[in-house]
Chain A
Amino acid sequence: MAAIIKIENLRKVYPVGKERIVALNNISFDIEEGEICCILGTSGSGKSTLLNQLAGLEKPTKGSVTIGKTNISVLSETRLAKFRQKYIGFVFQSYNLLPAYTALENVAMPLMFRGVSKKKREQKAKELLKLVGLGKRLSHKPTQMSGGQQQRVGIARAFVSKQKIIFADEPTGNLDSKTTREVMELMVNLCRKYKETFVLVTHDRDLALYADRIITLADGEIIKDERNQSIARTEEQIAAEQTAMESKEESKNTEE
């Protein structure tokens, strides 16, 4: 498969006072299209910093990040906004829903920024919300939902516009272990379903097991880059998982 993200000699240095903190030191690797890639590491190892460079939220000190054919490290703010609108979806640790808007409006927002009509985007958002099991919570505001529910809204928002790449920084950081599993499975399955590339940042080894590939960071450098053998699954297994998920959603919908 072709590499969708190319990272070349990436370096990020933060000047703090007189000191210079090297958060990323000369990192190079490729992420392939459709890959579920986990960036693993202890606190302070530079995971978030790496993700921010990949998503173009921050400019690297040196090196480049190329997504598709575009070197995003040199794009202007305006061009980046357009680029993100087209290709990139986010799931945050702290959900980052807009508090004044309902679940439906939150999910529909990326489509609104693209200029999709209200009717069309709400139909799409409704579809996604049903898929994450929140078909009955369309008009709820974020404060009226639990953390897990909010994160599922966040996931629906990330996937609503069929982005090529989804970035997630500790998406389950605020959730209990049962909800964590549900949310992880949801994201992984959606990625498989829509054939999207997924970059997950976590410090939790167990979560890394959901990924195809695990890149381990320490002090801003890659110390390990491995294929995840435990989940080298066959196509049949994937199909089975998907049907299982869908039936689960339906049962959840009837519960609610």
Chain B
Amino acid sequence: MRISDLISMTVKNLLRRKTRTLLTVAGVIVGTCSIVLMVSLGIGQTEALEQNIAQMGDLTMIQIYSYGENAETVLNDETMQRILAMDGVQAGTPFYNAPNMELKLFSGKKDRYQMQLWGVRGVYADQLENMGFNLAEGELLPAQSTQGGKNKTYQMLMGKSMVYEFTDTKAKGQAAYRWEGMLDANGNQLPPFVDPMKDELTLVMEHTTYDENGTANREEARCEVEISGILGSKDPNTYDENSYNLYMDINDLKELYEEYKETFDIKEEKNKKNEVTYNNAKIKVSDIDMVESIDKAIKDMGFETYSLNSIREPMMEQMQQQQLFLGGIGGISLLVAAIGISNTMVMSIYERTREIGIMKVLGCKLGNIRSVFLMEAGLIGFFGGLAGVGISYGISYGLNYLTMSGGALSGVLGSMLGGMGGGGSLSVIPLWLAGAAVLFATVIGLLSGFSPANRAVKISALEAIKHE
């Protein structure tokens, strides 16, 4: 038999019992809808979660920590180079902290404006751009600050919010401070006391010692400093973790520390190997899919790590389980639909027993008889799946409309289904889900038709002809 004849025969058979065919298809539609909608809710939730995590920071960043003196691997320039050489690591830098160094920034006439510098961190200047540091103003650190020696001008990167840390030593009370969003009497925003990109700054090193009587003895030394750029997002509403940080080139900072020790004659017991080690570092991975493997490789080196990805993974796993559960619930109704298809096929084979017998006697091949019944079942599944997906899109749109536009259901459904509130749709049907649903329904149809079709093949032609 030709395929075109098989198809037209199949369609003809389906149209012969329109009501029954439609009811069976309706069963598949309900089944498909319930699976698709359940999964779409799961996907909506996952997407919302992804968005939320993405807002928490860069998912491709990995923080590296090295604890304990006797750890086999220490975080130093050598190990850092090894990490940077890993496949997929885009950029990275350790954070160097000079211990016990008191620094201040002075500006204005007679050092009117002053700021304490806590925790200036030394970084690999050449890595910052690839690390994705955002500049609100100016430039990133030049790779190595100009000439060495005593009279060198140190370069510094300052976080946007740090600028407000300058205080006015001439003022009393609240007037000595400025903070972001502070307004004057007319309601205008007040700028920080100092514009570090324009105003002259002085870096002040301080050291305090105490004599036997407990009297403090304060010494200070001054050096030149420039702020090369202000870190932070240009968009005032976006949080940027670097808004509160201060950075210097790692070698500059080490140099400054040596100068500090020399100036105030500080003796420091050197560690055994006489090398600089770091407590922590941060790297950026070029592809989010590689975060996990790189994270593991670094852990294998003996370091501790932290990345947003590491909290994302278990959350995603939980989400997937939830989706599977939701899909399973939907699956039950498709199972019922499958039983419906089987039932319909058995019924129609019973009705058509005589016809099948005649076809056999006329020389219709067994394979063709099987194909006709399988295709009938498959078509019921296919059309049911297709219509089901179409209707699911409609329902999905409706749900999203009702919940998004602040409609009556937004509160109720949103909280019931654990919607995350902020942006994103409650129900999302990606193309793969639509395709998979139609395919799945068709396969279910074929499977349900399998045993009835074999039954039709086994009918004895002679018995069938006698059958009334």
Contacts and interface: CB of A to CB of B under 8 A. Distances in A.
Contacts of B12: 100
Given A113-B1, A113-B365, A58 B16 contact: no
B8 to A, nearest CB: 9
B297 interface: no
A57 B362 contact: no
Contacts of A98: 355, 358-359
A115 interface: yes
B286 interface: no
Nearest to A94: B465
A109 to B, nearest CB: 6
Chain A CB within 10 Å — which of B4, B365, B368 has the most?
B365
Interface residues of A, number: 27
Contacts of A115: 1-2
A78 B461 CA distance: 12
B363 interface: yes
Nearest to B358: A96
A90 B362 contact: yes
Nearest to B2: A115
Dominant SS among interface residues on chain B: helix
Q: Which of B360, B363, B367 has the most CB of A within 10 A?
A: B363
A118 interface: yes
Interface in A116-165: 117-118, 157
Contact of B362 (A100, A110, A118): A110
B190 interface: no
B361 interface: yes
Contacts of A96: 354, 358, 361, 465
A6 interface: no
Contacts of A58: 462
Given A57-B462, A58-B462, A90-B361, A81 B366 contact: yes
Residue among B1, B5, B12, B362 having the largest count of chain A Cβ atoms under 10 Å? B362
A88 interface: yes
Nearest to B13: A100
Contacts of A110: 362-363
Given A84-B363, A86-B363, A98-B355, A113 B368 contact: yes
Interface of B: 1-2, 4-5, 12-13, 16, 354-355, 358-368, 461-462, 465
5 contacts: A85-B364, A85-B365, A92-B465, A113-B365, A117-B2
Interface of A: 52, 55, 57-58, 77-78, 81-82, 84-86, 88, 90, 92, 96, 98-100, 109-110, 112-115, 117-118, 157
Given A92-B465, A96-B361, A115-B2, 13 more contacts: A52-B462, A57-B462, A77-B366, A81-B364, A82-B363, A85-B364, A85-B365, A96-B354, A98-B358, A100-B12, A112-B1, A113-B368, A115-B1
